[in-house]
Amino acid sequence: MAFEFRFPDVGEGITEGEIIKWLVNVGDKIKIDQPLVEVETDKAVVEIPSPVAGTIIKMSKNAGNTINVGDIMVVIEEEGEVSKENIQAVSEPEQVKQKSVSVVGELEEAPDEEDGKAEIIAIPAVKKFAKELGVDLTKVKGTGIDGRITKEDVEKASAYKEITKKTEGEIEKVPFKGLRRLIAKQMITSASKIPSVTIFDEADVTLLFEIKAKMKETTVKKGIYLTYIPFIIKAVIYGLKKFPALNSSLDEENEVIILKKFYNIGIATDTEEGLIVPVIKDADKKSFSELADLLARLTELAKSRKIELKDLKGSTFSITNYGAIGGIFGTPIINYPECAILGVGKVIDKPVVMDGEIKIRKILPLSLSFDHRIVDGAYAQRFLNSVTSQLEGEVFAES
């Protein structure tokens, strides 16, 4: 009996994903819970396991295609042996006959031999993409399953058009998809919904530098690499407890500010594909070494794209460390729907006047972006003052 396995909801609010790689082929015999495909969704790459055992007789999407929750991914023959003829009959793409025609409006359909109307086999996102690039889909040959037109097909058609027109110089087109597209959506949501303001300050972390060096001797023996981030997390949590509106989100529909009594800290992580934000849950209940160990493991999982969706959800406040690659100050974009994000610059040696003398101190630049609907500048600055004072010495009471 043929079983149609549809793309399941793999996380909170997930509606679609992009197929990265198939782990099986048509004709393969599979077991229950055997991974079938890697799908990128909500900044994570997840493996989708099979709910049944049997033989793959059809795969409905190619790698690179978008798939919506509820779409058929594969058809699996559950019982008995499946002949090669049956596999071929089920998996062989249907021949799609098209004519070159002019199309008015939304590029939705074109005449064929039967009733004068033939469906253009492409998902709505591809049709919209083609319209934006000015590509006539009736003149594009689909390379996807069942003759489906993919984004790559549209891009190739568009590139051909531009090659015949452009004389200024060489260009390269990079597909805007996957993680890059997800980041763009999140950035647009944040920028369009949140009136963000950024304030700047500096913390004298000369003492922190010395304490970290001493603690590092112990943590290295445990196989833990200690950075400044665990100390910053502790300082942030201290500040959030004193100024709870920074650990909140705005429920616009019900017109209430939701103050969160738990502290899940998102740490923006640079990967080859783009920015991913792993979340350290209940960070206030963890020691410096526990934070360092968990941060290292989540960062590695994020960079290898093996991090689980649950570790990317539920943050209440975020930290972005652009100082790790040499940045000093920035204007971080808030991780919607959070209220604020702290940007951390690189530690620099800087001359500072102390007791009437000029001394060289280690200075940590800080940038705080916050939602001005929820808090005002004075409140945000008091929070940043609190974080700064912790980093300048008070945070070491625990160490």
More confident of the two residues 251 and 105: 251
Which amino acid would we find at residue 348? I
Cα gap 146→123, rounded to integer Å: 13
Give the tens place of pLDDT for each residue, 268-280. 999 888 899 999 9
Report cis status (omega within 30 of 0) of the bond before 337. yes
Distance CA 111, CA 117 (A): 4
The full DSSP string for 350-388 is EEEEETTEEEEEEEEEEEEEEETTT--HHHHHHHHHHHH
Domains of the chain: 2-91 (2.40.50.100), 109-175 (4.10.320.10), 195-397 (3.30.559.10)
Query: How many Cα neighbours within 13 Å face the side chain of 277?
Result: 25
Question: Per-residue pLDDT tens for 41-77?
Answer: 766 788 899 999 999 999 988 888 888 888 999 999 9
Name which residue leads in pLDDT, 59 or 103. 59
Tell me the range of 3-17, 165-179, 220-234, 339-353 where mean pLDDT is highest.
339-353
Phi, psi of 195 (to 5 degrees): -75, 95
* pLDDT tens readout for residues 202-236: 999 999 999 888 888 787 777 888 889 999 999 99
Helix (H) or strand (E) holding 390: helix 377-391
Q: Are 118 and 101 in contact (CB under 8 A)?
A: no
The yes-or-no verdict on residue 135 having pLDDT over 90 is no
Higher pLDDT, 366 or 42: 366
State the pairing for strand pair 72-77/66-68.
Answer: unpaired
Is the C-alpha dihedral spanning 129, 133, 137, 142 positive or negative?
Answer: negative
Question: What is the arrangement of strands in the sheet containing 29-30, beginning at the earlier edge strand?
Answer: 2-6, 72-77, 54-59, 29-30
**pLDDT average, residue stretch 151-168:** 70
Active-site residue 108, yes or no? no
3-state secondary structure at position 90: helix
* 137: pLDDT strictly greater than 60: yes
In 10 A of CB 51, how many CB atoms?
A: 12
How far does CA 228 lie from the centroid of its chain?
Answer: 24
Q: Say which residue, 163 or 156, is predicted with more confidence.
A: 156
With 90 as the cut, is the pLDDT of residue 136 above it?
Answer: no
Q: Which of 181, 216, 313, 372 is catalytic?
A: 372
C-alpha distances out from residue 294 to 103, 105, 211, 278, 311, Å: 56, 53, 20, 10, 11
Cα 325 to Cα 4, 161, 233, 321, distances in angstroms: 47, 39, 19, 8
Residue 235, classified by CB atoms within 10 Å of its CB into exposed (0-12), middle (13-18) or buried (19+), is: buried
Contacts of 9 (CB under 8 A, 6+ apart): 69
For 204, how many CA atoms within 13 A lie in the half-sphere containing its CB?
Answer: 10
Largest distance between two CA atoms of the chain = 92
- In this structure, are residues 309 and 276 in contact, taking their beta carbons and an 8 Å threshold? no
Determine what percent of the chain is predicted with pLDDT higher than 70.
84
